[in-house]
Amino acid sequence: MAASTYGRRAGGSGILPRASAASGRPSVPSSVDQATGADAYDQWFDSRWGRYAAAIERDTLLQAVGPVEHDLVLDAGCGTGRFSIELARVGARVVGLDIDIDMLAIAARRLAGSVVLGDIECLPVRDGVFDVAAAVTVLEFVPHPDRALAELIRVTRPGGRVVVGALNRRSPWGVLHRRRGGAWAGVRLFSTDEIAALGEGQGGALSMTGALLAPGPFPGLDHLGPALERIGRRFSRIGAFQVLVMRRR
């Protein structure tokens, strides 16, 4: 089961300090509505578009992260652990962190309990612990993306990698969904320049890559989508999914 307070030890690894009564960070309450939301979120990955988009994002991320076998990896804002388990499958020792206890309960089943409840803007982790710290489509939802990125850098060891997956508002997908509004209407989407600027503001060497050219589900997606992606390699800046990789100094 997920930890019930910020700063609780994850999976018995001992990498996290114990929470103190003075920390003032209460646990996130569980509710039926949140549980339903977590289940619905997780089920999206099994939809036609969810399977297609998630596969491209997974492959792009794993290529950008590079070899992680035996590395200690933080998946900050892990949600239900879909990307966390992909990292574990290639040999990483993964700790998933999220602020939503119901999301984390699902992630804990995938990661055999190696999860922690916490806020990406104030990570309950010592400095320089992780070989890799990743945040996938998380900065769009936090009040202070620069603070969240600074925290990822802080908990990464010198020479380690910080990886951010973000949604591009100037992609075909981004333009279409901004026009439609709905669930994405109030979310902060970034341009590729804005994502790069976040990294440059924190210092350290960085690289950018992009993928996911399809604007959403359409007839023939399974056949035409891969062709779009091949063409899109020449125009990666307009991909809906952008990956920033930084090397911690």
Is 13 inside any structural domain?
no
pLDDT score at 26: 28
* Domain assignment of residue 17, yes or no: no
Q: Is residue 242 part of a domain?
A: yes
**Averages of pLDDT over each 10 residues, the chain, 249 residues:** 28 34 28 61 94 95 95 97 96 97 95 92 97 97 95 96 95 80 74 91 82 91 88 84 94
pLDDT at 222 (0 to 100):
87
**Coil vs helix vs strand at 112:** coil
Q: Which residues partner with 73 through β-bridges?
A: 94, 132
d(C-alpha 84, C-alpha 219), whole Å: 30
pLDDT at res. 180: 63
Question: Would residue 40 count as lying in a domain?
Answer: yes
Tell me what pLDDT residue 13 has.
35
234: CATH: 3.40.50.150
Residue 52 covered by a domain: yes
Q: Can you give the residue range of the structural domain that contains 53?
A: 31-247
Number of domains comprising the chain: 1
Residue 11 included in any domain: no
- Phi, psi (rounded to 5 degrees) for 149: -65, -40
CA distance 168 to 166: 6
Which pLDDT score is estimated for 144? Answer: 96
For residue 137, is it within any domain? yes
- Cα separation values, 201 from 159, 180, 191, 198, Å: 18, 32, 15, 5
In a domain, 60, yes or no: yes
